[in-house]
Amino acid sequence: MDNGWHARPFDWRDLFLVKRLQTQGQVLDYERAKVDGVAPLRDAIHAYLLLGAGSRHTLVLPKAGAFVQYIYHKDSKRVRLTYLSPTPTHPDAVNHWVDLLEQLTAIVGAHGIQHIVAEASHDGPEIEALQRAGFGILTRQLLLCRVTQPAQEDLAPLSGLRPWRPTDDWGLRLLYANTVPQLAQQIEVPIEDALSPSHWPKRLVLEQGGELTACLVARQGRSGNALRLLLHPQADVYVEALIHHGLSILTDGDPRPVYCRIRRYESWLQAPLEANGFEPVVRTALLVKHTTARVQAPKPHLVPLVEVRPKMTTPVAHTRLSRSTGTDHK
């Protein structure tokens, strides 16, 4: 029997609770909040009407007066926290966070979820609350914003830049494997899902010498626009041109701000972004909690071919690449 101290999925009984608390909580996914806005009650009702078939979910702890929202994509091994209320500004709220997150861990872990990911301001009270609930810092992030949009101008053509094709997924995986640290790759969703056309409808790739050296994706949300750049460090000579092309596909008559998130291992992108009008908005930490213990299994004699990741070679055809920029992999 539900005594109110057990977390449960949102239903009609929780309407007034979520409505009252939706302005007292903490965003845990900053780029999404800036681009799509924050509307916890709307998201909770929408998910309820879909009978849990959507990707967004709300878990409520009635007696504590707390709720958490998260995103889960089918067949994924991770969930991404987006919002948790109330803000942990006093000990009771911190205890409720810990209790709710522990119950969430048990629920999603029972369904095969291995990782819970959240983002928190680097100097906010939510980091301590998340760490008390078993989260550890994976990496640091910086969210930048360009408020004023550039005047439309004729762009110089960039050889090898073209629209993304479904056959590019393998090349995208190779680019990702040679750009992102291994630990982050283990936590993240597969790159072809993270940069899927359904979420990032505007997609360009840069192909040099038969290999992808960059992927540029963009999308327009309710409150703003987002730009994401995956670029091999040795192809840094293209970064300025790629940023210009990214802005051009977003700012055609759209006056809303453009946001771009970079992680610590991409910190070399900060300078060219700032040179093109972007300014830092918030510094955050990406945290993760593992729901299941890792077991070291013996390696089989035969390794499936799909698990073999060929090493991407430095692109040399039709271009001259500058020196490596020394990407920070801390």
Residue 185 CA to residue 14 CA, distance in Å, equals 37
Q: What does the chain come to in residues?
A: 330
Contact 290, 158 (CB under 8 A): no
Other C-beta atoms lying within 10 Å of the C-beta of residue 96: 21
Write out pLDDT tens, residues 253-269.
Answer: 678 899 999 999 999 99
Write out pLDDT tens, residues 210-229.
Answer: 899 999 999 999 999 999 99
Q: What does R_g of the chain's alpha carbons equal in angstroms?
A: 21
Answer with the residue of higher pLDDT: 194 or 84. Answer: 84
Instruction: For residue 238, give Cα distances in angstroms to 11, 28, 68.
Output: 50, 32, 41
Write out pLDDT tens, residues 309-319.
Answer: 444 444 434 43
pLDDT computed for residue 151 by the predictor? 60
Write out pLDDT tens, residues 89-125.
Answer: 888 889 999 999 999 999 999 988 999 999 999 888 8
Give me the chain's average pLDDT, please.
Answer: 84
Q: Which domains does the chain have, with CATH numbers?
A: 8-134 (3.40.630.30), 144-281 (3.40.630.30)
Q: How does 99-130 read in b/e, with b if 16+ C-beta sit within 10 Å?
A: bbbebbbebbbeeebbbbbbbbbeebbbbebb
- What is the arithmetic mean of pLDDT over 221-244? 92
Write out pLDDT tens, residues 48-57.
Answer: 999 878 889 9
Write out pLDDT tens, residues 34-52.
Answer: 999 999 999 999 999 998 7
pLDDT computed for residue 1 by the predictor? 42
Phi and psi based region of residue 289 (left: phi greater than 0; alpha: psi -120 to 50; beta: remaining)? beta
Answer with the residue of higher pLDDT: 144 or 128. Answer: 144
CA atoms within 13 A on the CB side of 132: 15
pLDDT computed for residue 320 by the predictor? 38
Answer with the residue of higher pLDDT: 207 or 323. Answer: 207
- Pair of tokens at residue 239: 């970064």
Percent of the chain with pLDDT over 90: 60
Residue 289 CA to residue 12 CA, distance in Å, equals 30
Contact 243, 208 (CB under 8 A): no
> Dihedral (C-alpha) 43, 48, 52, 58: value to the nearest 10 degrees?
50
Percent of the chain with pLDDT over 70: 85
Our CA angle for 6, 9, 138, nearest 5°, is 85
Q: Is the pLDDT of residue 191 over 90?
A: no
Instruction: For residue 223, give Cα distances in angstroms to 31, 38, 194, 196.
Output: 11, 9, 21, 21
